Chains A and B, each alone.
Chain A
Amino acid sequence: MGFSLTGTHVIFFIAAVIVAGTVSGVFIAVTIDVTSSLSDRAQRVQEQLDTDFTIINDPNMIPRSGEYYLFYLKNIGGAKLLTTNQTFQVFINGELISVSDYYFSDTSIAVGGVTNLLVKTTIAAGDHILRIVGPQAITEVFIFTE
Chain B
Amino acid sequence: MGFSTIASAAILGVAVLMAAEIITSDLLPKIESVNESYDDMKGRLRDQLQTDISILDVTRSLNGVNYDFTISVQNTGSVTLNTEDFIVLINGTGYLFTCSHTYLHPQVIGFFEVVDVAGDGEKRMKIITNNGVADYYTYVL
Interface residues in chain A, defined as those with a beta carbon under 8 Å from any beta carbon in chain B:
9, 12-13, 15-17, 19-21, 23-25, 27-28, 31-32, 35-36, 38-39, 42-43, 45-46, 49-50, 52, 54, 56-58, 60-63, 70, 72, 74, 76-78, 112-114
B34 near A45 (CB under 8 angstroms)?
A: yes
Q: Is the CB of A17 within 8 A of B41?
A: no
Q: Out of B22, B26, B132, which one reaches A74, CB within 8 Å?
A: B132
B110-133 contact mask (Cβ, 8 Å, vs A): 1 or 0: 000000000000001010101110
Indicate if the CB atoms of B41 and A78 lie closer than 8 Å.
yes
Interface of A is mostly: helix
B121 CB to nearest chain A CB (Å): 13
Give which listed residue, B3, B4, B37, B124, contacts A78 with CB less than 8 A. B37
- Asked if A9 contacts B37 (CB within 8 A), the reply is no
* CB pair B41 A16 closer than 8 Å: no
Decide if A78 touches B11 in the complex (CB within 8 Å): no
Q: Which residue of B lies closest to A45 (CB)?
A: B34
Contact of A17 (CB < 8 Å), options: B11, B30, B82: B11
Say yes or no: A28-B87 contact (C-beta < 8 A), given A62-B92, A76-B44: no
A57 to B92, CA, bound (A): 6
- A76 and B18 alpha carbons, distance in the complex (Å): 42
On whether A114 and B30 interact (CB within 8 A), knowing A16-B5, A23-B12, the answer reads no
Asked if B57 CB lies within 8 Å of chain A CBs, one says: no
Q: Which residue of A lies closest to B16 (CB)?
A: A27
The residue that A112 contacts in the complex, of B3, B40, B85, with Cβ under 8 A, is B85
User: Which among A27, A32, A54 is the interface contact of B132 at CB below 8 angstroms?
Assistant: A54
Chain B interface residue bracket vs A:
35 or more
**What is the bound-complex CA distance between A60 and B41, given in angstroms?**
30
Give the complex CA separation of A80 and B89 in angstroms. Answer: 23
Whole-angstrom distance from the CB of B79 to the nearest CB of chain A?
Answer: 14
Residues of B within 8 A of A49 (CB): 34, 37-38, 40-41
The answer to whether B93 has its CB under 8 Å from any CB of chain A is yes
* Residues in A whose Cβ lies below 8 Å from that of B1: 9, 12
B102 within 8 A of A: no
A46-B30, A58-B91, A76-B48 provided; 8 other pairs, C-beta below 8 A? A9-B4, A13-B3, A16-B7, A20-B12, A23-B15, A42-B31, A61-B91, A72-B87
Q: In the bound complex, how far is the Cα of B15 from the Cα of A50, in angstroms?
A: 36
Contacts of A27 in B (CB 8 A): 12, 15-16, 19
A76 contact from B89, B92, B131, Cβ within 8 A = B131
